[in-house]
Every structure is written in structure tokens, then in C-alpha cells.
Structure 1
Amino acid sequence: MVAYYFYNLVMYVVSRFGLKSFFVLFLLSYPFFLYLLPETGYDFAHYQLAYESVFFEPNAPLFFRSGSPLTAEPGWFLYTGLVSFITSDFRTFLAINFGLTMVLTIIAFRKFGLKDEYTSQIIALMIPVQFLIIYFWSPRSSLPLGFTFLFLAYLRKGNFILAVLFAVAATMIHSQYGLFIIFCGLYYGVMLLIEKNRNSLTRVSLPVIAGISVVTITMALMITSFISYLDFIPSYELINSKTRYLSVESEGFRATSILSLVFFPALLAIRWKDLSTRKEFDVVVIFVIFSFVVNAVFFYNTHLAGRLGRVSDYFLFGYFIVEFSRMIAGRNNALVVLFILLIFPFLFADLYPLSDFF
């Protein structure tokens, strides 16, 4: 992990030189870690076994099953089953999955209206923690994350057909993104009714967001009853089985919940005037409000909050580190960000044991 940690620092420095050079180097270099990182428990072994034992089954919901005990949506087995025709090596699959997801993510970020310098820095800041989780330990979360970003990118532009296709693709692989997709669908649907113009969907309306937030909170609190109406989809049994997380409180301190409940909303309020002039403003507001709602409702269930808020928390983590550092040091914010990266081993001791460094 020491090598991976210093790789993070190097890639952040590279991100300062432009998106194209950073993205090419990142695509070429990151797969080496997917091959070399040690298996340290978590879900890695389960996903490896599931990939190596996936097989074609005509009677399966989406034609593929796995001989492993992993519980996953039918779309995940379809995806891994198709890739297994190309390679039977799990780590090669991780590299392919990484490349595909990153391409989708870059496309989505650019459609959000993010400047290239922001895109490269946000991605660089997701390498130390978020990418380690979704590309190595829990790869089922990665491709649908890219699909969810694209869903939002096309939805806010009024391209509803592509938005629906990406939403279906995301939830068929991992249902944890479903609540965010519903939240966004309700918000932009109401905005379309108000504005009656697809080109005006990106206008931020706080009353509409507040109303949709109340609806989302109600759905979250009544999620068991809501899920009972989804028995027509192929992954219904799996989604229904996941309701067990509602009755299990995950104890422990979750740093990102404090970020979602305090830091992100506060920084959004402080920077509101400046951020409101940017093309990605509605995206940032949507992410901040959704992240706050999920982490507030499931404050005592850290596992569920972490899963449901993953799409917003991951984006905001990188975005607001860049924004916070620029608020302090302007465009010469590199030293501030590097300092934050330097203290990551103290903030994320489970990922970067201090004993490895001394």
C-alpha cells in the first residue's frame, strides 16, 4: 500500500498538467495496481470466485449464473459472463472494468460542464480511497456508477431515452443506485413540468428540491413497503433480501457522513454565488442535497448510508477538496491539496496502516 499511496501523490501532480495527459497516463498505469495489489479480505475473494465460476444458463433471469454464494443482481452476472468469454483471469477483468468505467465517467463529467482541470483533479482525488474500493475490493459498484453519472448527464439535458437506458443498466447491475436515480428523476421531471422547456432543466429551484427531498425521505423511511411494488423486475428477490440492512445498525464512526451533513452543505452555502455561475451547478446542488438526506435518514446505519449515498459522496469528496483548497489558496492550491493527501494515512488508517510507513 505504500507504493499505491505515493502513486496517488504523483497522479495528483500529473492532474495539474491537463486532462488528456493525466487520463492517458492514468489508464495505462492504474491497471498495474489491479494486478499487483494484495488481496486483503473484504469482498475481493467473493467477487473473484463469482467471476471464475460464472456460467451460461438459459433459464437464468439474464442468461448467466454463478456457482459462488455471492448475491448480486442479474445484470452483474450478465456483464461478468460476457467478459469471461474474453478472459478467464479475474484481475484482467478488473482492468477491463476499470477502463470502461473511467471512459464513461469522463464523458459524464464533461457533459456536466466541468472544466477539464476540475475533472482531472476530482478523479485524482478519488484514487486514494474511492477507486480502491470500487475497482478492487467491490467492483460491482464501479460500472453502474459510470452509468449513473451518464444517466444524470443526459437527464439534465432532456435526453430522456438515453437517461432511462443508463438508469436501467445501472440498477440491473447494482440496485444501490436506485434511490438516487428516483430522486433525480422526480426533480428534473417536476422541473420539466414547471419550465416546459428541456433547455431550462438545469435551473436550480430550491422549493422543488425541498419538496423532492421530503418525498425521498418518506420513501427511504418506508423503503420496505416501496420495494414490495417492484416485484416485476428481474432483481426483485435480491433487492428485497437487502432490506435486512434496515434492521442492522452498523456501529462506528463514518467520516464521510460528517462531510455530507456539515462540510458539503456549508461549503456550498459559502461558495453559492461563485458556484451558481458554473455549468455544473445543478449537479453539485443535487449531489449535496441527496447526500445530506441519505446520511441524515440513515445516520445510525452507516453501511446503508454509505451504499445509497455512494454516487453523491464520491463525486463531492473530490469536488469540494478542490473547491476548499481554491478558497484558501486560489488557483495555486496544489500545496493545500498535497497536504490533505499527505494526512490520508491518518484519516483512513484501515486502508493505509501507519505501520507500513514506519
Structure 2
Amino acid sequence: MEHLINSQVKNIQISGIRQFFNMVAQFPDAIQLTIGQPDFPTPEHIKDAGKEAISLNKTGYTKNAGLDELCLAATNFVHTKYNLDYNPKTEVITTIGASQGIDIAFRTILEEGSEVILPGPVYPAYEPIIKMCGGIPIYADTRDTGFKITAKQIESLLTDKTRCVMLPYPSNPTGCILTEAELAEIAAVLEDRQIFVISDEIYSELVYGQKHCSIAVFQGMKEKTIIINGLSKSHSMTGWRIGFVFAPENITKHMLKVHQYNVSCASAISQWAAVQALTEGIDDALPMRAEYEKRRDYVYERLLAMGIEVVKPEGAFYLFPSIEKFGLSSNEFATRLLQEGKVACVPGSAFSTYGEGYLRLSYAYSMEILEEGCNRFEKFIQSL
């Protein structure tokens, strides 16, 4: 029966991140630097809120868009943190993680032949969803612009088929951000055009030395922007699966239909825990961010001392060093690093063809693990 499977689905590959993560299981003595998951436990007060929800039998369906209390907490959070104003009753949807938010956003706005401009290298989950919607990913090569998509690049790629521009910043895999000035230039290009923007801001609370800025704060941009966010990275709640989409009502009301028939609603237990996270835990990310910054500085300096070229990340918890000088493909390098050096990192090719020649290293691990990982990495490159 396989010949009857949707051809768009058959042509999709399992994420390169997961492929490599699965391979690592064969090397139990390897240092694992692959997965972008906080190593901090979910804060106790959030776990307690989840337990209380169970004890009080708050385990039924919620409204499709989520609990009223959570929608209010979410809109208050982005207002307080990023100066974004959304109506909690009509302009936010609680999703099953940011991933489902991305899915319903693309499925709502894309049609057959719609073009989506996105930076390369980039998180690998966007392209498959775009293609399953009949859309066409159009990559901007950001390797010579510090891994940042520019207004000039976007303008050069616009066609009459452009339906959306994807802005995933802070970036997975590079850790780069777009500054307020850089976003202002992009907004100037898009302000008067009938083009959606999907802004994936899941790492918004993990920006170092400055405040996160959203494209939606600029004149004329909120009306066309869908913001993706969630609690996985900010509150170390990956398994709770709580995300959000924020958009004007005339967009959200259509995404809500897709969401309704897709999942009905997010877990009620997780939603009650999320209310606690976004209210009493509004600044829970701050101590985690401080620790990530220390880890970033340590690994960045170690890589520079090894003679490795790498852009210093300003957000998230990844470094994306170049391994081009070693003359191996990123997959060959990562495989040998795992087999011979006993360190697991993700080959850059997992993040589109524009990631070839690079390696993604996650520093969402303890300093002890990072020190040993760097020691092994250095020993491995000395053997090449």
C-alpha cells in the first residue's frame, strides 16, 4: 500500500538532527552535544501547579484556543517583555509546542505554489511543512552576512508568488539574532507589501547582553505577522508541550480552525502549569540565561583557541563552527568525531545545503560535560 502514500510525505526525510541523535545511542561513552533541550529541570513551582491541576481534576478539554487564564497570561507576558499588544480573547492560540504553531501557521497561509523566503542555514522543520502545504522554500544564503537574513536579500528574492518571509531569530542552529536596526530595514521592505511574516521567537528569552526585539513592533508589521513562541526553552518545559501563536484576529480566526481539527486543544494539565510559568515565573529564564552565557563564552573561547572559525552567538544555546578547513563533509566530520573522538555534534548539512561545512554544537549541557567535550574535540582535530 505504500505506493498510495501522499508523495509529499514520502519525499520528506527524518530530521538530520534526530538521525544523528539516534546514531549516538550506539556510542554510550560519547559526550552528547546534539539536542537543543535545556538541562535545567522545570522550576518546582511550575511542576507543583501541574500536580495541583491533576489533584483538582482539571483534566478535561479546554477551549480550543486555550484556558482564558493562560491566554491572558501569555498576552501579558509578551506585552511586558517585548512591547507586543494582543487581545487575549481573539489574538492568541495555545498550541502543542511551538512546532504545532508553525504547522498551523503555514497550513493557514500557504497554497500550491506559494513561495516562502527563509534564511539558510536554518532549523530543518520549516521546509518539510512548507512542502507538505504545496509551498516552495526559497533560501537566502546567509553565510556571508553573519548568518543573518538581510533586507537586501529579501528584496532580491521577492516575486509575485512570495507569500511569506520566515524570520527564525534567535537562530537555531547559529545563535544569531536580528538587531532592532536590522529588523527596521526588513520592515521597511515589507511594510507596504501583501506578504505574511512568520517570526519564530521561541528563543526570545535567551538573548545575551540586549533585549529581544520582534518584527511585529514596527509600523505596518503587526497586521501581517504571525509570532511563534512557547515555554520549552524559556522555562525548561520541552515535554510539557506548550506553545503559542500570536496574530491579528483576522488571521488567528483561521488558524484556530486548523488547530481545532488538528488537536482540539493542548493538554489542560500543561496549560495550568503554563499559567504559573507566565505569571509567578515570569523571570524564570533569567538565571538559566546567565548560566548559558557563561557556557557560551567558555566553548566559544575554547574553539577560537583551537583555531576554529565561529561566529559568536547572541542568543539561543548553539554554536555553529566551520569545519571546512579539514576537507571533510559535515556528515563525515561528525561521524568520525563520534566514532573516533567520542563527541556527538550535529552535521551542518542537517540545516539545509547552506549548512554544509559547519557543525552545530549545543551548549545546553553542564560545564563539566562541555569541558570534557571540548577536550575530546581538540584531541580529535589534532589527529586529523
TM-score (norm: length of structure 2): 0.30
Richer in helix (by share): 1
Higher strand proportion (structure 1 or 2): 2
